[in-house]
Amino acid sequence: MSSYADVHRKTKLGEREAALRLKNNRLGMTIFQASWIMAFLALIVVNWQLRYSYAQWPPAGVTPFDATLPSIATFALLLSALLTRRGWQGLRRGDRAQFTRSWRLALLLGLGFVASIVYEFITVSEAALATHYGVTLRLMTGFHLVHALAIMAVLLYVLRQDASGAYSGDPRQSWAAEGAAKLWYFVTVAWILFYVVLYWLR
C-alpha cells in the first residue's frame, strides 16, 4: 500500500511533467509561428520582385483592387482574434460561458472573413489575371485561405471538445485551447501583412 509520502511524491512528479510539457508546447508553438511566418514573408518578397518588373503598379490598363471589402474583412478578423483571446482568458478563469460565447462569435467572424476573401479571389478581373498583379493576389489570398480554414477547423474542434468538459482553467490541461488561439493570432498577423502589401502599397 502506498504511503502518503509516495502519493505526494508522484503527484509532484506528475505536476512537474505537466508543467514541462506545457513549456515545451509553448516553445514549439513559438518556433512554428516564427518559422512559418517566413513562408508568408517569402510571398511578400516575391510580390515586391514582380511589381518592380513593371513600369507601374498596378500595370497599365488594370484597375487597382478596391480595398473596401478587404478592409471590412480585416477588421472582422482582428475582432475575431480578440474574441479568441477573450474566450481563452475566460476559460483560464473557469468561465466556460464566456469561452463558448467568445469562440462562437470568433468563428462566425472568421467565416465572414473567409467568405469576403473568397469573393475577392474569384472576382479578380481577366485584365488583372493577365498580369502578375492579379496572379499574385490569387496566390497570396489562396495560400492564406488554406491556413485560415485549417485553423478554423482546429478552433471548432476545441469548442466541441470543451462542450464535453475536456478543458479546465489549468493551462496544463487546456493546451489545445491555448494552442488553437495562438494559431488564430498567427493567421491574423499573416493576413495583416498580406493586406497591406496587396491593397495599400502601390
What are the tens digits of pLDDT across the range 128-179? 999 999 999 999 999 999 999 999 999 999 998 877 776 776 666 777 888 8
Alpha-carbon gap, residue 6 to 9, rounded angstroms? 5
Alpha-carbon gap, residue 190 to 58, rounded angstroms? 22
Judged against a pLDDT cut of 80, whether residue 2 lies above it is answered with no
Alpha-carbon gap, residue 74 to 4, rounded angstroms? 56
Alpha helices in the chain (DSSP H): 4-51, 68-92, 96-122, 126-129, 132-163, 175-199
Judged against a pLDDT cut of 90, whether residue 91 lies above it is answered with no
pLDDT at res. 171: 64
Percent of the chain scored above 90 by pLDDT?
A: 60
Q: How confident is the model at residue 22 (pLDDT cuts 50, 70, 90)?
A: confident
Q: What is the mean pLDDT of the chain?
A: 87
Alpha-carbon gap, residue 128 to 61, rounded angstroms? 9
Judged against a pLDDT cut of 80, whether residue 192 lies above it is answered with yes
Q: What is the pLDDT of residues 52-65, one digit of tens each?
A: 888 899 998 899 99
pLDDT at res. 132: 93
pLDDT at res. 164: 76
What is the pTM for the complete model shown?
0.86
Region 7-13 average pLDDT: 53
Q: How confident is the model at residue 32 (pLDDT cuts 50, 70, 90)?
A: confident
Set of cell numbers at residue 22 = 506545457
Q: Which of 192, 196, 3, 174 is nearest to 87 (CA)?
A: 174
Chain centroid offset of residue 171 CA: 20
Task: Pick the range with the lowest mean pLDDT from 75-84, 89-98, 149-158, 159-168.
Answer: 159-168
Contacts 24+ apart (CB under 8 A), 185-189: 185/81, 185/84, 185/85, 186/33, 186/36, 186/37, 186/151, 187/77, 187/81, 187/144, 187/147, 187/148, 187/151, 188/77, 188/78, 188/80, 188/81, 189/37
pLDDT at res. 18: 64
Judged against a pLDDT cut of 70, whether residue 90 lies above it is answered with yes
Alpha-carbon gap, residue 104 to 84, rounded angstroms? 9
Domains of the chain, first to last: 4-199 (1.20.120.80)
pLDDT at res. 95: 86
Q: How confident is the model at residue 114 (pLDDT cuts 50, 70, 90)?
A: very high
pLDDT at res. 186: 93
